[in-house]
Structure 1
Amino acid sequence: MPPSPKFAATQSRTPTLPRRLFGRWWRRQSPAQQDRFATLGPLVSVLLFLAAIISAFWYLRNEEFEREQESVKRDTEIAQQQIRLRLIENQEQLVRIAREIVTRAIDQDEFLGQAASFTRERPEINHLFWITQGRNRKAAYSAISFHPETGLTGEEYAASLPKEGKSSEPEVAFLAARTLRQPVYTRPFTDTYGMPVIQVQIPLIDRSAFSGTLVAEYSVEALMRYFVPAEVSNRHAISLVDGQEHVLASTVTPMPGQKTKPASIVHDVPVAPAGDGLILRGQGYRTSIGLISNTLFWMVSALSVLTVWMLLGTWRHMGRRLQMQSALVSEANFRRAMENSMLTGMRAMDMEGRITYVNPAFCAMTGFSEAELIGRQPPFPHWPPDRYEENNRLFQQELQGRSPAGGIEVKVMRKDGSLFDARMYVSPLIDPKGQQTGWMTSMTNITEAKRIRDQLSASHERFTTVLEGLDAAVSVLSVQQGELLFANRSYRLWFGADANGHNLLAGEDPGLPRLTESDDNVDSFGGLPAQELTEAGSDPREVYVESLKKWFDVRSRYLQWTDGRLAQMLIATDITARRQAEAIAASQAEKAQVTSRLVTMGEMASSVAHELNQPLTAITNYCNGMVTRVNNDAIKKEDLIAALEKTSKQAQRAGQIIHRIRNFVKKSEPQRQPSQARTIVEDAVELASIELRRRNVAIHTYVAQRLPTLMVDPILIEQVVLNLLKNAAEAIDMAHMPPARRNIELRVVPRHTPEEGGVIEFSVTDMGPGIKEEVISRLYEAFFSTKAEGLGIGLSLCRSIIESHRGRIRAQNLYNGASVVGCSFTFTLPVETTRTDPLSTSNSAVTS
């Protein structure tokens, strides 16, 4: 069926419509533009052809590169998985060993045995350390050196052990393990032999208390050698790097003296769970021919460039002319944009003082338009009427070129009549021929800056007034020059206006650097971190000034002075009255101690008399017997000597009782001296035995052997022990306890706690009725007593004595279920050193 005439006409008109539109647009263009478009057509065609060729080459190259990149990524992740699984497995075994250490299931010898077995199966581990809370090496096993029993000094472990005060990686991990209570990995570091290693530190938690760490040290090179699969290392280069991109170990050894070619494909993954400090890097290299080395690419590029060069030559002339026109337009627009964007007002005048130019900022400041200012001569409309004479003088000075370089400060009036402060700077206006054609004035609004300056001056005045009114002496001294920068009224009243008082208050404190320089060419503070000095403070010190007969509490800190110099500020407060009050309080406390001992001995007077009655009665009997036998001539020489020796022993016993009581009650200054805990206990028990026998109470003592020496006053500690024994005996006797519960236990053993460190613990435990809960909180209050005839100073003095020796005292009830079965008083005394040798103990029992 043939198409209809209407459809045929529509089909014939459709192709001609775009042609008509294009022809109409082409005829509207100028001949120059038509030539440009005609030249641009072939150029676009050549560029499109070149782009198609480059895209094809680029697509093929990228496809091959992505395949190689995926291979490197896969091999790197396989190696990462092998190392990660090994680290996690080792960590689980180390946690098990740490648990056995904490539960004391193993000792040092068993630890070394387990360490040897552990490292024998794990060649990547170099060392195992058992570190105490004080960072001491309790046990160590090395898989790369001799066995510890061969007598190594431990210097080979110096870089692998934490040390307090240092910022080494083992110390950082030790602090993190102590804080987080979980395994912590260090960043890579070098051991004593210079080999890269990492550590994992397992915290030892004993009853919720941190008691040290178990440290395992890995060789980074061994991790690479044993746990990177051979098929992976054959395909790609695998290396371990640290956070600073330093290669620690690699499967590829570079040739000596040759620079390693950078890899085109690099894939980094972290070595979990070791943290961010260790990175596993896989590297791959391209094997295909690059795009640039392809001959076909160069041929196509050369032909395209030649064609483009020929086309460009036809319209170079038009381009130059358009360039010059565009440059002129850009320069004019740039200058206009600069003038409009400036916040500083600009005003140009000719040599006669007529305004020839003002920028928009000047008009915005004054409120006058450009038409109202250009062409005007003095007086200008922005001059205040009441300042015409002053402004005219400054204007004449400006025309003569005598304006100061620092500018002049003037008052300027806006169009609405308001005034503002401004600073004006004047400079000559030079034309291209080097001749002066006028003057250029720049004006800045300084109203806000002047207001802030006035506020700062007022603030400084208030600050100075406050410092001058302080009762404390405040002084600031330049560290380098030793110059006194500031001193308030109190300082000037006490020390004058020089720096001698500041140096006298600073004293020889090692925390305060020397304030004078012996050589001007050498700056001893050249390496000091000024920011850390100014942020850090200093502990308060008490200084006695002989010339003033005063005590001062001195506090210091470093600050940066207004001119940038490092300065030291001291604040000295007069504490003479406080020191005198402390001295009086100490004297009264000493008298109270002597009074307490006298009260104790007064309470024991009847018992002491009974104790002395026995040796005195024995002496009388011996003497009467000898007199009778001598009168009857019925005694031999040997019997007489034996009787006299027995008499002498009884006299010595009575003398020892009197001597010990006299030493206990006599007034003496507290004197700390090396003392043995066993001697103190024996003396206290001997004094207390009189009271214990009178009350029919038995005492059992338990003193550990080879205890360290204590630096204490033995009489004061003996007084504390005697007071606790006496209180325990009274509690048992007053409660009428049965014979089975009339016992006291005195124990002296070493202890080590995270809070106190190494201490000797004294404990007195009785089987009495215990202490009421509401009484325990008030036991150590002065003049508080549970006994009707008590003075309430015994336990208060005990607490003062123990705390003066840097120890602690506490009391607690002993329970059997819900029933109280006794009470325990415990106090601790610190020791200079902590012994880790096993302590053998002995028991001794004294029953009265």
Structure 2
Amino acid sequence: MQAQQNAVLPSAETLKTPVRWWRTWWRSLSPHRQDRFAVLAPLAAVLMFLAAIVAAFWYLRTEEVEREKEALKRDVEYAQQRVRLRLLERQEQIMRIARDLSNQDLDRAEFDRRAEALISQYPELQAVTWIDERMRIRASHAAPTVSSSQLRVIGESIRSGETADTYLLARDMQQPVYSQPLSVKDEAPPLLQLQVPLSAQGKFAGVVLSEYSIDSLLRYGTPTEVLARYGVTLLDSNGNVLAGTPLQPRRTAFIAKDNRANEYEVPVSPVGNGLMLRAQAYRTSLGVVGSGLFWLVGALSAMTAWLLIATWRHTRRRLQAQQALVSETNFRRAMENSILTGMRAVDMQGRITYVNAAFCQMTGWSESELVGQTPPYSYWPDSDHESFQAKTNDELSGKGIPGGFQARVKRKSGSLFDARLYVSPLVDAKGKQTGWMTSMTDITEPNRIREQLTASHERFTVVLESLDASVSVAPLGSAELLFANRLYRQWFGSQTDGHLELVAQAGVLPAREHSSVDDEDGLMGLPTDPLTSARSENAEIFRPELGKWLEVRSRYLNWVDGRLAQMVIATDITPRRLAEEQAARQAERAQSVSRLITMGEMASSVAHELNQPLAAISNYCSGMVSRIESKQISEEMLISVLQKTAHQAQRAGQIIQRIRQFVKKSEPNQSLANVHDIVNEAVELADIELRRNNVRLTHYVAARLPKVMADTILIEQVLINLMKNGAESINQAQRPTARRSVELRVVPRHIDGQGVVEFSVQDTGKGLAPEVLAHLFEAFFSTKQEGMGIGLNLCRSIVESHHGRMHAENIYNGTEVTGCRFSFWLPLKTAANATTESVATPKPRTIE
């Protein structure tokens, strides 16, 4: 027996193990955490006790509420069964009357007698009505309590409303139908309807309508003991109270929201969800809130918890103050050790009392070596003892320099560095001066950077002074000249007049009177675009007093003092302008030479073309002379012959005039030109050469082409050259007559989103070899033995001077080359945005 007890009880060693673990854990905690746990343990015990009391009261209250709900549910279901049985009994009695009416065992008098007996015996039954198949009332008997507005009149018809709807439903279903409680606008109580269908020999013969008082149904159908214990009401499907008085929500002083009564509701059969029976329980107990014991225990627990929390907060504030003091001390010490400025404190006799880590790091001596030293200090250079001693005496006597002073300090290794020292009085917490505090900063690197910046500035100034361009900087809205290099001073002097004249003449900054509010700042005429997005402006101007062409570039910048300034760079471009003018003259001569060469090649064709009108004039004149001599000519015939002669003379003159205009030397003149006129003039000139080579020319010009900005003579020269080259290519290919044709097409196009007019000349020759295509537009390159190699290069230069492009390609029929197509396009421009451009021959370039 004793062994069994020993086996059940834990051994002493088993009990000692948790205790040892607890002691070890407790001793491992810091005193601060031990204090916290010592305060929190009683507080947790009080809160657990209060929670246990609340849980106990809550459990009892919950059990009580559940019992009340179960009793309520049981009583409501019992009352619902009683009301249901009463309705079924009345329904059975009404169905008997309906059966007798269907069998024609009842007449109207007997119907009134039986209806009166039922109404007088059962107070909830208010009226019984006989309605035939045409919805007309055959007989009706109502209780004295029914209001006059609810009485059924014999012969009246029910054609609308809820009664008619229920009538139709009973006719269709051939079963008794309950309708929803009637909602009337007057003070009459609502009624519940039951319609039982009549069937005579299988046909619908009407209904027997019985109407119940819902209030009487509740009063006489519900058991008395249920009415005594609960507030019982009958509701419709929308929750409206039809009978009975519901309990009002209870409000207490301790609960802000509504405390609804315990309630339960069920539908009343056989009516269904249209009629609900609800019961609300009266309050029988005060619950947890009304229990005095609960409040007493709660008050004592809250007071104990408040006292424990107050003690814990007081202890916590003391610990926080202690921790804040330690943290502040550590922070100040860390800050002193982390700053890069050396700190040194001396007493009123000049003895060093404190140095920080930065001071020790700068000088190389440790804190123990420096603290306690008196002048001369170990970091003084040997050669500067006298000057340092004088400054130290001034410090101790209060004559220190407010802005500090610069000196050379010696490291422990013997090297020197530049330092700036600031001296300030050291005052204790009582306001008494106890010494002097000196801060020291190593300025060796800033001095080196300053020297480098000075040297860089000198180099920058030398570079700007030696530039072959004028550079000037002036602030906006001021006549001050911030910077000007040597060439500017040589040209314009040392004033801002030259700067402002360059800006005004170049149009870099719009004139004040022509500016608008949207484009310019109203304070100084500065463009409203951000400076970061402003672009430099370029312009070429001529200065008569200098006799030079200058290229002026300008941009805005922030000057070193923060002011907004404008820099203007003027470069002498006189040699370049002279070279450009000379190149333009040479290009013009090349164009004239090219036209003369073209006309020289076409001389025989032109002579043949002129021979026809001249021969015709000679023949007309000879004929007229012989006719006049023989007097065989009339006045009308003479006038006709003279008109034909004049026409041939005009034709010869037009040919000569067109050739003269084509070959004469003239300045480039771009203007709005009609494409049709350009093509017609070029075709008429080239057609002579093409007919001489037995080549057929066809041309197509699209209708309603817009005008182009072009020099008509130059574009005609390009077209004539391309058509003549096509005829020569056909001759070299020795094509038969049917295949000797050149086609000129002019159509509108869209290239890179820009509207252009495209000219294309297509021949039927042998095309161009790949090695020829690669060098086709280069200067002095030609496939002809006698060619000069300037024709296509000049054509391409003319097209590009009009901002167009030229292209050449072979035409294939399968693998066979059937011809070549030269095409170029000119952009569409208007006279408003077109500018007069001089035609200059660019440098030779290869096909891209």
User: Which of 464, 480, 483 is matched with 1:483 structurally?
Assistant: 480
Alpha-carbon distance change, 34 to 425 in structure 1, aligned in 2, over 3 angstroms: closer
Alignment of 1:820 with 2:817, yes or no, is yes
Q: Could you list the per-position Cα deviations for residues 771-805 of structure 1 after superposition, in whole angstroms to 9, with x for gaps in the alignment?
A: 12211222222222211222222212211111111
Alpha-carbon distance change, 33 to 692 in structure 1, aligned in 2, over 3 angstroms: closer
Q: Is the CA contact 1:758–1:833 (under 8 Å) kept in the aligned structure 2?
A: no
Alpha-carbon distance change, 390 to 507 in structure 1, aligned in 2, over 3 angstroms: same
Partner Cα separation in structure 2 for residue 618 and residue 21 of structure 1:
141
Unpaired stretches in structure 1, ≥5 consecutive residues: 55-293, 835-848
The residue that corresponds to 1:43 in the other structure is: 43
Alpha-carbon distance change, 453 to 46 in structure 1, aligned in 2, over 3 angstroms: farther
Q: Could you list the per-position Cα deviations for residues 44-78 of structure 1 after superposition, in whole angstroms to 9, with x for gaps in the alignment?
A: 33567899999xxxxxxxxxxxxxxxxxxxxxxxx
Q: Is the CA contact 2:508–2:554 (under 8 Å) kept in the aligned structure 1?
A: no
Alpha-carbon distance change, 686 to 53 in structure 1, aligned in 2, over 3 angstroms: farther
The residue that corresponds to 1:736 in the other structure is: 734
The residue that corresponds to 1:426 in the other structure is: 423
Alignment of 1:787 with 2:784, yes or no, is yes
Partner Cα separation in structure 2 for residue 52 and residue 692 of structure 1:
122
Alpha-carbon distance change, 301 to 470 in structure 1, aligned in 2, over 3 angstroms: farther
Q: Is the CA contact 2:342–2:359 (under 8 Å) kept in the aligned structure 1?
A: yes
The residue that corresponds to 2:695 in the other structure is: 697
1:94-243 to 2 correspondences below 5 Å? none
Partner Cα separation in structure 1 for residue 778 and residue 717 of structure 2:
18
Q: Is the CA contact 1:751–1:759 (under 8 Å) kept in the aligned structure 2?
A: yes
Alignment of 1:631 with 2:655, yes or no, is no
Q: Is the CA contact 2:381–2:410 (under 8 Å) kept in the aligned structure 1?
A: yes
Alignment of 1:806 with 2:797, yes or no, is no
Q: Could you list the per-position Cα deviations for residues 337-365 of structure 1 after superposition, in whole angstroms to 9, with x for gaps in the alignment?
A: 33333322112223333323222322222
Q: Is the CA contact 2:705–2:748 (under 8 Å) kept in the aligned structure 1?
A: yes
Alpha-carbon distance change, 49 to 401 in structure 1, aligned in 2, over 3 angstroms: farther
Letter in 2 for 1:705: A
Letter in 2 for 1:15: L
Alignment of 1:717 with 2:729, yes or no, is no
Alpha-carbon distance change, 459 to 741 in structure 1, aligned in 2, over 3 angstroms: same
Alpha-carbon offset, residue 404 of structure 1: 3.1
The residue that corresponds to 1:458 in the other structure is: 455
Partner Cα separation in structure 2 for residue 304 and residue 340 of structure 1:
53
The residue that corresponds to 1:14 in the other structure is: 14
Partner Cα separation in structure 2 for residue 559 and residue 4 of structure 1:
103
Alpha-carbon distance change, 514 to 454 in structure 1, aligned in 2, over 3 angstroms: farther
User: Which of 468, 478, 489 is matched with 1:471 structurally?
Assistant: 468
Letter in 1 for 2:631: D
Partner Cα separation in structure 1 for residue 470 and residue 738 of structure 2:
68
SS at match of 2:482: strand
What is the identity percentage for the equivalent residue pairs of Structure 1 and Structure 2? 59
Q: Is the CA contact 1:674–1:709 (under 8 Å) kept in the aligned structure 2?
A: yes
Q: Is the CA contact 2:512–2:525 (under 8 Å) kept in the aligned structure 1?
A: no
Q: Is the CA contact 1:495–1:501 (under 8 Å) kept in the aligned structure 2?
A: yes
1:553-632 to 2 correspondences below 5 Å? 553-632=551-630
Alignment of 1:336 with 2:337, yes or no, is no
Q: Is the CA contact 1:413–1:419 (under 8 Å) kept in the aligned structure 2?
A: yes
Q: Is the CA contact 2:732–2:765 (under 8 Å) kept in the aligned structure 1?
A: no
Alpha-carbon offset, residue 436 of structure 1: 3.0
CA RMSD, Structure 1 to Structure 2 (Å): 3.9
Alpha-carbon offset, residue 496 of structure 1: 2.4
Q: Is the CA contact 2:708–2:830 (under 8 Å) kept in the aligned structure 1?
A: no
Q: Could you list the per-position Cα deviations for residues 283-316 of structure 1 after superposition, in whole angstroms to 9, with x for gaps in the alignment?
A: xxxxxxxxxxx999x9999887543212134566
Letter in 2 for 1:744: V
Alpha-carbon offset, residue 325 of structure 1: 4.9
Alpha-carbon offset, residue 430 of structure 1: 2.4
Partner Cα separation in structure 1 for residue 701 and residue 34 of structure 2:
116
**TM-score, with normalisation over the residues of structure 2?**
0.63
Partner Cα separation in structure 2 for residue 388 and residue 48 of structure 1:
78
Q: Is the CA contact 2:730–2:766 (under 8 Å) kept in the aligned structure 1?
A: yes
Alignment of 1:499 with 2:479, yes or no, is no
Partner Cα separation in structure 2 for residue 498 and residue 707 of structure 1:
57
Partner Cα separation in structure 2 for residue 680 and residue 323 of structure 1:
100
Alpha-carbon offset, residue 551 of structure 1: 1.9
User: Which of 744, 756, 764 is matched with 1:759 structurally?
Assistant: 756
Alpha-carbon offset, residue 685 of structure 1: 1.2
SS at match of 1:788: coil
Alpha-carbon distance change, 699 to 52 in structure 1, aligned in 2, over 3 angstroms: farther
User: Which of 664, 669, 672 is matched with 2:670 structurally?
Assistant: 672
Number of corresponding residues: 589
Alpha-carbon offset, residue 742 of structure 1: 0.7
Q: Is the CA contact 2:709–2:830 (under 8 Å) kept in the aligned structure 1?
A: no
Partner Cα separation in structure 2 for residue 798 and residue 17 of structure 1:
111
SS at match of 1:628: helix
Q: Could you list the per-position Cα deviations for residues 613-659 of structure 1 after superposition, in whole angstroms to 9, with x for gaps in the alignment?
A: 11111111111111111111111111111111111111111111111
Partner Cα separation in structure 2 for residue 304 and residue 462 of structure 1:
87
Alpha-carbon distance change, 628 to 352 in structure 1, aligned in 2, over 3 angstroms: same
Alpha-carbon offset, residue 528 of structure 1: 5.2
Q: Is the CA contact 1:534–1:558 (under 8 Å) kept in the aligned structure 2?
A: no
Alpha-carbon offset, residue 683 of structure 1: 1.1
Q: Is the CA contact 1:368–1:415 (under 8 Å) kept in the aligned structure 2?
A: yes
Alpha-carbon distance change, 693 to 492 in structure 1, aligned in 2, over 3 angstroms: same
SS at match of 1:438: strand
**TM-score, with normalisation over the residues of structure 1?**
0.63
Partner Cα separation in structure 2 for residue 44 and residue 526 of structure 1:
76
Alpha-carbon distance change, 324 to 584 in structure 1, aligned in 2, over 3 angstroms: closer
Letter in 2 for 1:647: T
Alpha-carbon offset, residue 767 of structure 1: 0.7
Alpha-carbon offset, residue 321 of structure 1: 5.7
SS at match of 1:635: coil
Alpha-carbon offset, residue 391 of structure 1: 1.3
Letter in 2 for 1:40: L
Letter in 1 for 2:18: P
User: Which of 656, 659, 671 is matched with 1:658 structurally?
Assistant: 656
Q: Is the CA contact 1:697–1:743 (under 8 Å) kept in the aligned structure 2?
A: yes
Alpha-carbon offset, residue 510 of structure 1: 6.2
Letter in 1 for 2:758: E
Alpha-carbon distance change, 651 to 302 in structure 1, aligned in 2, over 3 angstroms: farther
Alpha-carbon distance change, 406 to 513 in structure 1, aligned in 2, over 3 angstroms: farther
1:58-77 to 2 correspondences below 5 Å? none
Partner Cα separation in structure 2 for residue 736 and residue 478 of structure 1:
75
Alpha-carbon distance change, 522 to 753 in structure 1, aligned in 2, over 3 angstroms: closer
Alpha-carbon distance change, 479 to 741 in structure 1, aligned in 2, over 3 angstroms: same
SS at match of 1:724: helix
Alpha-carbon distance change, 522 to 443 in structure 1, aligned in 2, over 3 angstroms: farther
Alpha-carbon offset, residue 822 of structure 1: 0.6
Alpha-carbon distance change, 377 to 614 in structure 1, aligned in 2, over 3 angstroms: same
1:250-289 to 2 correspondences below 5 Å? none
Alpha-carbon distance change, 304 to 647 in structure 1, aligned in 2, over 3 angstroms: farther
SS at match of 1:540: strand
Partner Cα separation in structure 2 for residue 37 and residue 507 of structure 1:
86
SS at match of 1:14: helix
Partner Cα separation in structure 2 for residue 591 and residue 29 of structure 1:
107
Alpha-carbon offset, residue 599 of structure 1: 1.1
Alignment of 1:375 with 2:357, yes or no, is no
Alpha-carbon distance change, 630 to 550 in structure 1, aligned in 2, over 3 angstroms: same
SS at match of 1:484: coil
Partner Cα separation in structure 2 for residue 829 and residue 30 of structure 1:
93
Letter in 2 for 1:771: L
Q: Is the CA contact 1:534–1:557 (under 8 Å) kept in the aligned structure 2?
A: no
